[in-house]
Chain A
Amino acid sequence: MTLDRRDFLKLGAAGIVVGAFPGCATSGSEIVSKKGQRVVIVGGGFGGATAAKHIRMWSENKIEVVLIERNPMFISCPMSNTVLGGSRTISDLTQNYDTLKRKYGIEMVRGEVTAIDPQKQTVTLANGFVSYDRLIIAPGVDFMFDKIEGLNAKVADESIPHAWKAGAQTTMLRRQLESMADGGVFAISIPKAPYRCPPGPYERACQVAFYLKNNKPKSKVLILDANPEIVSKKGLFMAAWSELYPGMVEYRPNAEVKQVNVAGKTLKTEFDDVKADVINIIPPMKAGVVASLAGVVNVDNRWCAVDFLSYESKAQKNIHVIGDSVSAALPKSGHLATSQAKVCAAAIIELMLGREPDANPAIANTCYSMVSNNEAVHVAHVYRYNAEKQAMLPAEGGGVSAKRSEVEGMLANYWLKNILSDVLL
């Protein structure tokens, strides 16, 4: 595991530099001068930040890492539904990138990527470019607003928040609930799977119901699910709704929202018109736009196919994709983004040393949902590589909680604390 002197040479300044030669198509100058083998990572969420830290840690700081992120701070999406329930605020979920810079020597570049050139191996931003030997794309998801008539990014920012990326919209949705009169209706629209965080919408219904039960008990939570049934932890969520919030939560399957009337606060599904006081539309999702810039979106015009031994794109050499953008039979979760990031980080180090990646990756996923302020449920699985199918498949075992409990509520908090430290500290 420890690298020897020869390995250091391969990775350092004296090593082979698989060159990126800036030409006329790349504007401006190199933002961070490149000395040795370099990995550039676009996106500093759970996946990208984990990859950055682990490449530095496992290469004993011999591989340069440049992490490009447009936001100044890291905000955890996992557990952000508890902001709606009232047990956390967004600032509790916000952290900086200082330790990644200071302790691991990761070069942070703040900005928006405008172009990626897979031939010249450069990533362009407004103020110049960054060249790479290998690129990791970790943009999370973007929203397909055009699938719902009347919805767009501006509407989501101003009045009908998705709050599916933790931040300002999460806080706005909480304020809307606070302003709602007792007896009001909160409607949440869930897109067809796959989408980020399969149990997330149902956890959100619990958190909103928790707030309403304690503050506006005559109110209703209406779930309009485009899926034929609850996608994750079905029995546990149904028990939570009927036992903790009796008469408050109504669930409608096969209720895909097609249209929203913003001023009239109505939603149109194939069968119904629904009026609500607070509307939360979680739009259908696709790989983050950076994946399109890199030319790695090759599944249904939405997701990215990868080699699961290295997470290298099936469409572009030397470009890897991790996290929610990947097309896989894996849930799009924060924990799996970090697990994928580590497989990718380890593989990139091996590839840069001229060796083969680990041929038998096995990764785990643990996902907690808070069903009240202090009780949680989980789903957990191990996934391993199947060489014949070239896919990550569930290993034996795995499953959900026997029942919700306060112990699991505590474990969920420990999970958050530990995963954030594993990603950022």
Chain B
Amino acid sequence: MKMFQHQALTIVSAIGLLLFAVTSHAEVDAHSRNLAASCAACHGTNGHSVGGTPVLAGLDKALFVTQMKDFKSGARPSTVMYNHAKGYSDEEFEKLADFFAAQKR
């Protein structure tokens, strides 16, 4: 089981890399960039945190979206993220995720 998880992760990250190579060429629209800009106060310019908070730059899209949904539902306990996640739609989570996934780590 453990081995399987490891292999699966390798495959996922290989796909992730492939996707990254594509998306880094693709355009992330200005609206997504503008939405993501508010996150910078805690997570740094373009998600490049300079201390303490998680780096969002280069975060896998699925992981970003799932975590935001979990913050929103309360499935993942949080201090401040619940108050932010409640304010965005699932569609906006996708846009934010697209933007951060396209940022180089």
Contact = CB atoms under 8 A, between A and B. Distances in A.
Tell me whether A and B are bound partners.
yes
B43 A418 contact: yes
A43 B80 CA distance: 30
Contacts of A289: none
Classify the secondary structure of A's interface with B: mixed
A418 B41 contact: yes
B13 interface: no
Contacts of B50: 417-418, 421, 425
A398 B86 contact: yes
Nearest to A338: B41
A339 B38 contact: yes
Nearest to A360: B31
Interface in B1-27: 27
B101 to A, nearest CB: 14
A43 B4 CA distance: 57
A179 interface: no
B84 A382 contact: yes
A236 interface: no
Interface stretch (A5-13, A252-260, A405-413): A405-413
B41 A422 contact: yes
B36 to A, nearest CB: 10
A171 interface: no
A346 B30 contact: yes
Interface string B63-103: 00000000010000001101111111000100000000000
10 contacts: A1-B28, A350-B30, A364-B38, A396-B87, A398-B83, A401-B79, A405-B79, A411-B42, A418-B44, A422-B41
Pairs A-B, 8 closest by C-beta atoms: A397-B86, A382-B87, A414-B52, A395-B87, A364-B38, A380-B83, A422-B40, A342-B37
